Structure 1
Amino acid sequence: MTVTIYHNPACGTSRNTLGLIRNAGIEPAVIEYLKTPPDRATLTGLIKDAGLSVRDAIRQKGTPYLELGLDKTDVGDDELIGAMLAHPILINRPFVVTPVGVRLCRPSEVVLDILDAPQQGPFSKEDGEVVIDEKGNRING
């Protein structure tokens, strides 16, 4: 299975998502999107394929969102995409692409919906929350 994660190693949700992918025995293509941002077509495709609006895919916390005036209702999708391309920190993360689909994996266990391989053992998030039990079964999902 080919899996790609648009990853920010400084983000706990992104690290947990990557951990769940690897717990399924998959070594994904890891794109550190802050170092290698997607182009316009890729970004708009990720958002569309994930079934999101552009506003749903933009990150506000810890970004120049307010400083750039992106909170104003008259800012359209094209301008939002342009801002995300100019300031990749505005791209919410992590996006994951698999043959099953594309998702913005917030929370990280959303990735389980698009992995076509079972979890191979227990998995806990960095905060200690158990997501996968010792038999590889999803908890609360």
Structure 2
Amino acid sequence: METIRIFHNPKCGTSRNTLALIRNSGVEPLVIEYLKTPPTRDELMQLISDMGCAVRDVLRRKGTPYDELGLDAPHWTEMQLLDFIGEHPILLQRPIVVTALGTRLCRPSEAVLDILPQPQKGAFTKEDGERVIDERGQRVKIDE
């Protein structure tokens, strides 16, 4: 089985919940703390291509130098935006998960369920108390 990779920030609740959901499927992923070990420009380009999105779609604004850098201006090219992420990895939205079934920005964290090759092994509740997986390992319906 191909290794699951997660570009993770341990200070982020969504990232922690996503990592916990991966582990709840019985898999120990390769955890890449992207603030300590940022992806290269080529890796970023591949991740973004695999997700089928634009660089702007993976930019994080909250708690980053986004506004100070003026990144909301439309004149920045995709390559320039990649350079900014390279200089300031905190600009990268997280978590990004790579599995044999696809690459996804997992916001909300349960988006990871669509690309996990293994089913959930048991109940799972997010840090905030939201129940996501029931005791049978099945996704909880929103109205429950």
Residue 73 of structure 2 corresponds to 72
Q: Distance in 1 between matches of 2:92 and 2:124?
A: 26
Return the alpha-carbon distance in structure 1 between the equivalents of residues 54 and 101 of structure 2. Answer: 20
Counterpart of 1:53 in structure 2: which amino acid? A
Q: How much has 1:37 moved relative to structure 2?
A: 0.2
Counterparts of 1:1-141 in structure 2, within 5 Å, are 1=1, 2-140=3-141
Return the alpha-carbon distance in structure 2 between the equivalents of residues 19 and 106 of structure 1.
14
**DSSP-derived class of the 1:15 partner:** helix
The Cα of 1:140 is off from its aligned counterpart by: 3.0
Give me the whole-angstrom Cα distance separating, in 2, the residues matched to 1:128 and 1:42.
Answer: 34
How many residue pairs match? The answer is 141
Q: Which amino acid letter does the alignment assign opposite residue 25 of structure 1? A: G
Question: What letter is aligned with 1:51?
Answer: G
1:7 Cα offset (Å): 0.2
Q: 3-state DSSP class of the match of 2:16?
A: helix
Counterpart amino acid of residue 117 in structure 2: D
Q: CA deviation at 1:137?
A: 0.1
1:137 alignment partner AA:
Q
Name the CA distance, whole Å, in 2 between partners of 1:83 and 1:140: 39
Distance in 2 (alpha carbons) for counterparts of 1:71 and 1:48: 21
Cα deviations by residue, 1:8-53 (Å, 9 ceiling, x for unpaired): 0000000000000000000000000000000001011111101111
Partners of 2:58 and 2:34 in 1: how far apart? 14
TM-score norm. by structure 1 comes to 0.98
* TM-superposition CA deviations, 1:40-98 (whole Å, max 9, x none): 01011111101111111110111000101111011111111000010000000000000
Amino acid at match of 1:4: R
What CA distance in whole angstroms lies between the structure 2 residues aligned with 1:34 and 1:115? Answer: 24
Is the partner of 1:72 in helix, strand or coil?
coil
Measure the CA separation in 1 of the matches of 2:125 and 2:52: 28
Could you list the runs of 5+ residues in structure 1 that have no partner in the other structure?
none
- Identity between Structure 1 and Structure 2 (%): 62
TM superposition outliers: structure 1 runs of 4+ over 4 Å: none
